[in-house]
Amino acid sequence: MPNKVALVTGGTRGIGHATCIALKAGGYKVAANYATNHEAAKKFQAETGIAVYSWDVSNFESCKNGIAQLEKEMGAVEILVNNAGITRDGMMHKMNPEDWNAVISTNLSSCFNMCHAVIDGMRSRGFGRIINISSINAQAGQMGQTNYSAAKAGILGFTKALARESARKGITVNTVAPGYVHTDMTSHVPEAVMKQIIDQIPVGRMGNPEEVARCVLFLAADEAGFLTGETLSVNGGHHME
């Protein structure tokens, strides 16, 4: 059993929720970060026994302080899963700068903020696993999501650059790019639109959060040390690179 501390941002709902449970079952000491939905976090903590920490991943100082507190209470973070994300959809010609900036800072700058807070420790200990959650919509582009597609595509470059910087220090950095998965995020997509999307997915259905969690668990392992700078797509065959 690894017995290492694993932190999942946005870990109290959806894909993060399933990832926390998979990591805990895999023997990790798991912590879940979240933003403001305290009710969901309380329920998650009661059901799983996993520690929860609230801070805004788009804020550099909050990440630094949040990690410092968590490490004091639980020990050094050795596995970081940058999963927290939001959507603020709209056609580019109608999108306001607030919706652009909110998605870029929550989905992309968060990876910088969080990695910055843990990377020195990982480098000095000579071990780390960083897994960034991107999206099929980074790889294929999506109408109404210039902000989201740009942020998620930014993660692909960020991952590769940091992977190169960190490889000699025993740290791997990889991306998991999910397709359409049943969570609160996709529950707002109108049924007719979702039906059109599902028609394009070779396996003929959306994914489950547990199917993404399985990919994260694979990349988190000690044995995954020769795998870095990669994108693992989990999308039912919806997009093949």
Q: Which residues bind ligand NAP (CB under 6 A)?
A: 9-10, 12-16, 33-37, 40, 56-58, 83-86, 106, 133, 135, 178, 180-181, 183-186
CB of 125 to ligand NAP, least distance (A): 25
**Residues 28, 34, 53, 148: which is the catalytic one?**
148
CA–CA separation, 83 and 175 (whole Å): 10
Closer to ligand NAP by Cβ: residue 126 or 202:
202
| Min CB(107)–ligand NAP separation in Å | 6
The answer to whether 53 is a known catalytic residue is no
Name which of 166 and 175 has its Cβ closer to ligand NAP.
Answer: 175
For residue 77, the minimal CB distance to ligand NAP (Å) is 15
Minimum CB distance to ligand NAP smaller for 127 or for 139: 139
The Cα 127–Cα 75 span in angstroms is 14
In the complex, least distance from residue 126 CB atom to ligand NAP, rounded to whole angstroms: 29
Q: Which is nearer to ligand NAP, 101 or 170 (CB)?
A: 101
How far apart CA 118 and CA 78 sit, in angstroms, is: 8
Residues classed as catalytic: 148
